Structure 1
């Protein structure tokens, strides 16, 4: 694994780009057609799904399973107790109308993060956290 905080690869040719979802990046020779394949750890546990790769390098991008598990649980919640077909499931993705980038603590300090704030974030974050989310752009929708 190379990075745990990568944005999705840019899929301009298809007109679709994911945002505000951070992927695992690894140097691997993943090729087309393997999207959705599981990524397993040394103990044989599925930890991510193959999401895509870049043709200009040997980098592949993997979607961590916590996002998949969340969506699956929301879909399961739409089933009735007798197991019939689920109603249409709504998978909320947030409505902040902005995109974020993950920046390391060194970069956030250059952007003005105060030492006190960094210490609080490090204290309440999981061990090994490398940075914070920074607003990259506002998403404006015409009404």
Structure 2
């Protein structure tokens, strides 16, 4: 006898598209240098990996986790998942390498970044000329810039 699977579809409104990666455990793995989508939704434990769809029914992200204390859910944008899957597929096609041994590279500058609004970056010392140049070449509606939060030191 098999257990019946429950399917639920929850409505939610995206509050932010540039949310820093959530911190789940003090000494555990926490993602960094990528943005998540944040929404107020009723997702619960066990929802991780579920698709997030837009009003046209297109998958745009995967449920990555939630905070029950604030009813906030965090979604990993789908383009990051697609990139990883393409790297795995390309290695398999080219070399016949088993997927569990494929390395998925992540660029790193040995530092972590945070997204700060333009008002905050001006308080941190951003010159007016630099802000104007960034606004000129950025997509419409850009709200800020990345700033260095911490430098990662690797001891070998």
Tell me whether the two structures share a fold, i.e. TM-score over 0.5.
yes
Which deviates the most, 131-140 or 109-118? Answer: 109-118
Between the aligned partners of 2:124 and 2:118, the Cα distance in structure 1 is 10
Does 2:12 correspond to 1:3?
A: no
Alpha-carbon contact 1:79-1:87 (below 8 Å) kept: no
Q: What is the SS of the residue equivalent to 1:35? A: coil
- The counterpart of 1:34, out of the listed 47, 62, 75, is 47
Instruction: Specify whether residues 82 and 74 from structure 1 end up closer, same or farther in structure 2 by C-alpha distance, changes over 3 A only.
Output: closer
2:80 aligns with: 67
Number of aligned residue pairs: 143
Q: How far, CA to CA, are the matches of 2:107 and 2:97 in structure 1? A: 29
Unpaired stretches in structure 2, ≥5 consecutive residues:
1-13
Report 1:1-143 matches (<5 A). Answer: 1-12=14-25, 15-80=28-93, 85-86=98-99, 88-143=101-156
Considering only aligned residues, what root-mean-square deviation do their CA atoms show, in Å?
Answer: 2.0
CA contact (8 A) 2:117 2:143 kept: yes
User: CA offset at residue 95 of structure 1?
Assistant: 2.7
Larger Rg: 2
TM-score computed with the length of structure 1 as normaliser: 0.90
Query: Any conservation in 2 of the 1:98–1:138 contact (CA below 8 Å)?
Result: yes
Structure-2-length-normalised TM-score: 0.83
Name the CA distance, whole Å, in 1 between partners of 2:29 and 2:76: 16
User: Is contact 2:91–2:97 with CA below 8 Å preserved after alignment?
Assistant: no
